[in-house]
Amino acid sequence: MTYRKLPAGVQDVLPNECRALTDIKERLQRRFLSCGFRPVLSAALEYYDTYSEISNRIAQERMFKLTDTDGKLLVLRPDPTLAISRIAATKLEETQTRLFYFADKWDMQNAGGIYNREIFQAGVECLGEEGAFSDAQAVAFAVECLRETGLTGFIVDIGHVGYFKGILEECGLSDEDAETVRRYINAKDVLNAERVLRRAGAGEDTLNTLLALPSLFGGAEVLDRAEALTENACARGAIAHLKKVYSLLVGMGYEDCVSFDLGTVKRLSYYSGMVFSGLVKDLGAEVLGGGRYDNLADDFGKHIPAIGFAMGLKRILIALERQGRLPAFPRPDLAIVCEAGAEAEGYREYLRLLGEGKSVMLFAESGKEALSRAKEKAAKVYLAGKKGLKEV
CATH number, residue 75: 3.30.930.10
Please indicate, yes or no, whether residues 153 and 73 belong to a single structural domain of this protein: yes
Please indicate, yes or no, whether residues 55 and 120 belong to a single structural domain of this protein: yes
What does DSSP assign to residue 332? P
Q: Is residue 311 one of the residues assigned to a domain?
A: yes
Count of domains for the chain: 2
Q: Is residue 240 one of the residues assigned to a domain?
A: yes
Beta strands in the chain (DSSP E): 38-39, 45-47, 65-67, 73-76, 97-106, 118-127, 154-160, 217-218, 258-261, 274-280, 288-292, 306-312, 334-338, 360-362, 380-385, 388-391
Q: Is residue 298 one of the residues assigned to a domain?
A: yes
Please indicate, yes or no, whether residues 10 and 119 belong to a single structural domain of this protein: yes
Please indicate, yes or no, whether residues 168 and 220 belong to a single structural domain of this protein: yes
Whether 297 contacts 306, CB under 8 Å: yes
CA angle (261 as vertex; 228, 209 as ends), nearest 5: 40
Beta strands in 50-93 (DSSP E): 65-67, 73-76
Please indicate, yes or no, whether residues 205 and 174 belong to a single structural domain of this protein: yes
Structural domain boundaries enclosing 348? 334-391
Please indicate, yes or no, whether residues 287 and 342 belong to a single structural domain of this protein: no
Please indicate, yes or no, whether residues 181 and 158 belong to a single structural domain of this protein: yes
Separation of CA 149 from chain center: 12
Q: Is residue 214 one of the residues assigned to a domain?
A: yes
Q: Is residue 328 one of the residues assigned to a domain?
A: no
For helices 161-168 and 204-212, angle between their N-to-C axes, nearest 10 degrees: 160
Choosing from 287, 322, 357, the residue where a domain stops is: 322
Q: Is residue 58 one of the residues assigned to a domain?
A: yes
Q: Is residue 279 one of the residues assigned to a domain?
A: yes
Q: Cα separation of 364 and 191, whole Å? A: 67
Q: Dihedral of the CA atoms 103, 109, 115, 121 (nearest 10)?
A: -10
Residues near 96 by Cβ (< 8 Å), separated by ≥ 6? 127, 128, 129
Please indicate, yes or no, whether residues 160 and 301 belong to a single structural domain of this protein: yes
Whether 276 contacts 290, CB under 8 Å: yes
pLDDT computed for residue 143 by the predictor: 98
Separation of CA 363 from chain center: 39
Choosing from 295, 322, 349, the residue where a domain stops is: 322
Please indicate, yes or no, whether residues 241 and 346 belong to a single structural domain of this protein: no
pLDDT computed for residue 112 by the predictor: 66
Choosing from 322, 343, 372, the residue where a domain stops is: 322
Q: Is residue 147 one of the residues assigned to a domain?
A: yes
The pTM score is: 0.91
Please indicate, yes or no, whether residues 149 and 107 belong to a single structural domain of this protein: yes
Q: Spell out the per-residue pLDDT of the chain, length 392, in tens.
A: 567 888 888 999 999 899 999 999 999 999 999 999 999 999 999 999 999 888 888 989 999 999 999 999 999 999 999 999 999 999 999 989 999 999 999 999 876 667 899 999 999 999 999 999 999 999 999 999 999 999 999 999 999 999 998 888 877 777 788 888 888 888 888 888 888 888 877 888 888 888 888 889 999 999 999 999 999 999 999 999 999 999 999 999 999 999 999 988 888 789 999 999 999 988 888 999 999 999 999 999 999 999 999 999 999 999 999 999 988 888 899 999 999 999 999 999 999 999 999 999 999 898 899 999 999 999 899 999 998 899 99
Please indicate, yes or no, whether residues 109 and 216 belong to a single structural domain of this protein: yes
Please indicate, yes or no, whether residues 226 and 342 belong to a single structural domain of this protein: no
